[in-house]
Chain A
Amino acid sequence: MHVQGLRRLATARIVAVCDREPLMAEQLAVRYRIPKTYSDFYDLLAIEKPDVVHIATPPQAHFSLAMDALDAGCHLLVEKPLGLDASEAARIMTQAESRGRKLTIGYTYYFDPAARMLRTLVAQGVVGDSVHLESFFGYNLKGAFGPSILADRDHWVRKLPGKLFHNLLDHLLNQVTEFLTDEKPLVQAHSWQNAAGSGDLPDELRVTVVGNNSSGDRTSAYATLSSHIRPAQHFLKYYGTKCIAHLDFDSSTITLDEPPSLPGVLGRLESPFVQGWQHIREGGRNVFRFARSDYHFFSGFHYLLSQFYDSIVNDQPVPISYREILRTATLVDEIVRQLGAPRTATQ
C-alpha cells in the first residue's frame, strides 16, 4: 500500500526498501522496480540518507526505528499504532518536534473522501453537535488477513499488548476521538472469543465511551470490533442534534437521516424514497470518481500521503495533529488495560 501510494506521488521517489529478511526486501524491490534493498536499517539510513522513512514493520519495532530515523534527520510516516502505548507515541512526537521533522501515522481511512465529507458537514453545522457515535469495524478473520495470524503461534499480532484488537483499534477509534474533546474520556471495554473460533485469541470487542463534544455537552460512543462478520463492514454513524450521518467506509458513501419534510404517516412513506435517492446520488458520485480513476480502495491513504509530503515540501502543518494521535493512543491504552492483557515493557 505504501509503495503503490508513493508511486503515484510526483514529489516522492523510492530509493530503497529494507527488511530484516533479505528475500522479503528483494521480492518487493523486484515487483516494484525499486533500485536498492537493505536488510540493515542503519546501513540504509547511513548510505541512502533518505528524506522520508516509512515504517511498516510490526508495531514492536516502531519506537526504536522511529527514534533512529528521526536522529538521522528523516521525516516519518509510521503505520498504526504509532507505538506500543501512548508513552512511546508521545516520545516519538517529542523527538520529531525537537528534531524539526514531520511525523504522521498510517490512518488509512481517516481521509477517505466520505470521511472528509462528514468533517465538512459537521463543520458547516448540517448534522449538529454529536449526541452519540457508533463506530463499527467488522471483518472475517478467516478471510485474507487472518490465516497467517492463526497459523503462527509466534505471530507479532499475538505479542501485542492488546493482541488481535491492538492492530485494528486505531481504525475503530480515531474518528471517535475526533468528535470528542476530552483527553481521557470514560471508557468501558469488554471482549470475548466468538464460538466460530479463532484459536486462543479473543476476537470480539465492545467499547463504550463517554465524553464531551465540541460544544461542551455530554456525548457517547459505541465501538464494535468483530472478527466474524460477512461481508466486512466498516462504518461510523454520527448521531447529531440535527440529523444522523451514516459514513460507510466500504462503499465510500455518506447518507443523512433527516427529519421528514411531510407530516405524520406521510413522513414515514417519504423516508425510504429519500434514503434511496441519497444512495443513488452517492453511487453516481462514485461512478464519476471511478471514471476519473479516483475510486481506489485506499483513496484516503493516498490523500494522507499527498498531504504529508506537501507538508514536508512546503513546510506546512502535518495532516493529522499529534494531539489527535495521542488521544487515540490513550484510549487504546485504557481499553488494553481493561482487557487485562499483560503490558509489554517499553523503552
Chain B
Amino acid sequence: MKILVTGASGFLGRAVVERLLAHGEFEIRCFVRPSSDLTGLDEVRARHPRARLEYMVGNLASSDDAHRAVDGIEMIFHLAAGMRGLPASIFVDSVVASKCLCDAVRNRLRRIVLLSSLGVYGTSALGTDHLIEEGTKLDSQPEKRNVYFQAKIWQERLFRALAAEGRVDLVVVRPGVLYGKGNPSQGFPSRVGIAIGNCLVMLGGTHTLPLSHVTNCAEAVVVAGLSPTASGRSYNVVDDDLPTGREYVKGYRQKVKKVPAIDLPFPLAMMLSELVEKYHARSHGQIPAVLTPYETSTMCKGHRFDNRNIKTLGWQQIVPTVEAMRETFEYLRASQNGHRR
C-alpha cells in the first residue's frame, strides 16, 4: 500500500513515518516543504533498509501540488499544519492546504487520517473534572480561540463535510500536547500556563496534563490509520500515568532550569484572564489578548481525557511516561545549554 504523509519532516511526521515502517508499511511518500530539514527523515531511512521513502517537495496550499501529492496514493496521513507566524500564514498552511487536499481526493474514495487536537473541543462551559470523550462537540465559537486552534477546528470541519458526502474514509486522531526529544517548541506546554519573560505563570497547576509522547502519539496515528474498524471514527490520544501541571513544572525546575514560577489557582487564573481581556479591549490592543477567560476555561479548567477508545484498536503506550518525562527534560536541558542532540 502506498501511503502519503504530509508534514513528514516535522516533529510528529518523522515519528509517524518510523512507526509506519515498524508496522511493515514501507512505501511512503513524504510530502515536505522546500525549507524542511530532512535530516531526521534521512536518519529514519538509514535505520530501515527496506524503506522506500519518496520525498516530494511542494506546498499543499497549491492545488497542483496537492493533486501531485495524492497521485497513486491509497492512504493519507495528514499531519501538515501551520504552527507559527502570522495568523494568515497559519490559516493558509492549515486550512487552505486542507481545502486543496480535500479537492484533490474528492474523486476517489481513500482513507485519510487527520491529525487534529484535543483543543478542538468546546469545553469552556463544561465543569472541572468533566471527562471529554470523542463525542463531545467541537468548539462552536472558534473565533474566541487562539489562531492555531481556530485553524484546527476549521480544518476538521472541512474534512467532516467531505466525509459526510461519502467522498473520504475519515479517521480523526486528536492528541494532547506532544512532547519528547526533538520537539521544536522549547517552551512549556500551553496547558501549563504562559511564560512572561523568564517567569512562568501557571494556570490551574493541580490538573492532570493531557500529554502524549511523540512516539506514543505516532503509534496511535498509525494504529488508527491501519485499523479497518476505525472508519469514520475519532480517537483521543493521551498517555497513561500523566503528571499534573505542578508536577511537570517541578520536574522541569529540578532537571532543566530553575525558572521563577507563580502558581495561580484556576479561579485566580480566570480573574487574570478577564483583566487581560478587558485591558486588551480598552487599550485597543496595546498588549495582545494572550489570556482570555474563554481560552483559559477551555484549556486549563482541569477537564479529563482518556485513551479508552484508541486502546480498543490495540494501541499500547510504547514509551512509559516516566521515561518520556526523563527524555524530554534531558533534551530540554541540552537545548538550553546549546548542545541540542
Q: Which residues of B contact A27 (CB under 8 A)?
A: 91, 95, 150, 154
| CB of B257, distance to nearest CB on chain A (Å) | 20
| CB of B9, distance to nearest CB on chain A (Å) | 11
Q: Which residues of B contact A144 (CB under 8 A)?
A: 84-86
CA distance A293 to B62 in the complex (A): 41
Q: Which residues of A contact B57 (CB under 8 A)?
A: 153
Cβ A153 vs Cβ B59 within 8 A: yes
B339 at the interface (CB under 8 A from A): no
Cβ A296 vs Cβ B286 within 8 A: yes
Q: Which residues of A contact B84 (CB under 8 A)?
A: 144, 147
Given A27-B95, A154-B59, A199-B34, check contact A145 B143 (CB 8 Å): no
Residue of A with least CB distance to B89:
A148
Cβ B34 vs Cβ A21 within 8 A: no
Contact partner of A293 (CB less than 8 A), chosen from B61, B154, B286, is B286
CA distance A296 to B35 in the complex (A): 33
B18 at the interface (CB under 8 A from A): no
Given A23-B91, A24-B88, A147-B84, check contact A293 B284 (CB 8 Å): yes
Residues from 65 to 120 in B contacting A, C-beta threshold 8 Å: 84-89, 91-93, 95-96, 99
CA distance A30 to B87 in the complex (A): 13
Residues from 12 to 28 in A contacting B, C-beta threshold 8 Å: 21, 23-24, 27-28
Binary contact readout B28-62 vs A (1 if CB under 8 angstroms, 0 otherwise): 00000111100000000000000000000101011
| CB of B37, distance to nearest CB on chain A (Å) | 11
A8 at the interface (CB under 8 A from B): yes
Contact partner of B91 (CB less than 8 A), chosen from A24, A147, A152, A295, is A24
Cβ B154 vs Cβ A148 within 8 A: no
CA distance A199 to B99 in the complex (A): 27
Q: Which residues of B contact A152 (CB under 8 A)?
A: 33-34, 59, 61
Binary contact readout B274-288 vs A (1 if CB under 8 angstroms, 0 otherwise): 000000001111100
Residue of B with least CB distance to A298:
B285
| CB of A182, distance to nearest CB on chain B (Å) | 36
Residue of B with least CB distance to A197:
B35
CA distance A296 to B96 in the complex (A): 31
A230 at the interface (CB under 8 A from B): no
Cβ B85 vs Cβ A145 within 8 A: yes
Binary contact readout B109-146 vs A (1 if CB under 8 angstroms, 0 otherwise): 00000000000000000000000000000000011000
Residue of B with least CB distance to A22:
B99
Q: Which residues of B contact A150 (CB under 8 A)?
A: 34-35
Cβ A148 vs Cβ B85 within 8 A: yes
CA distance A293 to B286 in the complex (A): 6
Residue of A with least CB distance to B282:
A293
Once A and B bind, how many residue pairs between them come within 8 Å at the CB atom? 65
CA distance A98 to B240 in the complex (A): 71
CA distance A24 to B154 in the complex (A): 11
Cβ B286 vs Cβ A145 within 8 A: no
CA distance A67 to B340 in the complex (A): 53
Residues from 293 to 309 in A contacting B, C-beta threshold 8 Å: 293, 295-296
CA distance A293 to B287 in the complex (A): 9
CA distance A4 to B57 in the complex (A): 36
Q: Which residues of B contact A28 (CB under 8 A)?
A: 88
Q: Which residues of A contact B154 (CB under 8 A)?
A: 23, 27
Binary contact readout B180-201 vs A (1 if CB under 8 angstroms, 0 otherwise): 0000000000000000000000
A151 at the interface (CB under 8 A from B): yes
Q: Which residues of B contact A30 (CB under 8 A)?
A: 142-143
A290 at the interface (CB under 8 A from B): yes
Cβ B283 vs Cβ A293 within 8 A: yes
Cβ A151 vs Cβ B282 within 8 A: no
Q: Which residues of A contact B33 (CB under 8 A)?
A: 151-152
| CB of B67, distance to nearest CB on chain A (Å) | 15
Residue of A with least CB distance to B32:
A151
Binary contact readout A126-142 vs B (1 if CB under 8 angstroms, 0 otherwise): 00000000000000000
Residue of A with least CB distance to B143:
A30
Cβ A296 vs Cβ B34 within 8 A: no
Q: Which residues of A contact B34 (CB under 8 A)?
A: 150-153, 199
Given A147-B84, A150-B34, check contact A23 B95 (CB 8 Å): yes
- Among B57, B87, B93, B283, the one with the most A-chain Cβ atoms within 10 Å of its Cβ is B283
CA distance A123 to B53 in the complex (A): 66
Cβ B95 vs Cβ A148 within 8 A: no
Residues from 185 to 218 in A contacting B, C-beta threshold 8 Å: 199
Residue of A with least CB distance to B65:
A154
CA distance A21 to B95 in the complex (A): 11
Residue of B with least CB distance to A32:
B143
| CB of B245, distance to nearest CB on chain A (Å) | 27
Residues from 55 to 95 in A contacting B, C-beta threshold 8 Å: none
Given A293-B283, A293-B284, A296-B285, check contact A24 B92 (CB 8 Å): yes
Given A144-B85, A293-B286, check contact A31 B93 (CB 8 Å): no
CA distance A154 to B59 in the complex (A): 9
Residue of A with least CB distance to B59:
A152
Cβ A199 vs Cβ B143 within 8 A: no
Cβ B59 vs Cβ A296 within 8 A: no
| CB of A208, distance to nearest CB on chain B (Å) | 32
Q: Which residues of A contact B99 (CB under 8 A)?
A: 23
Given A151-B35, A293-B283, A296-B285, check contact A31 B143 (CB 8 Å): yes
Q: Which residues of B contact A145 (CB under 8 A)?
A: 85-86
Further 7 A-B residue pairs, CB within 8 A, beyond A152-B34, A153-B59: A24-B96, A31-B87, A144-B86, A152-B61, A153-B34, A153-B57, A296-B285
> A residues engaging B (CB < 8 A)?
4, 7-8, 21, 23-24, 27-28, 30-31, 144-145, 147-148, 150-154, 199, 290, 293, 295-296
Chosen A-B contacts, 22 in total, with CB atoms closer than 8 Å, are: A7-B284, A8-B284, A27-B154, A30-B143, A31-B87, A31-B143, A31-B150, A145-B86, A147-B35, A147-B84, A147-B89, A148-B85, A148-B86, A148-B93, A150-B34, A151-B34, A151-B35, A151-B36, A154-B59, A154-B62, A199-B35, A296-B284
Q: Which 9 A-B pairs have the closest CB atoms?
A: A293-B283, A151-B33, A150-B35, A148-B89, A151-B35, A30-B143, A152-B59, A8-B284, A153-B34
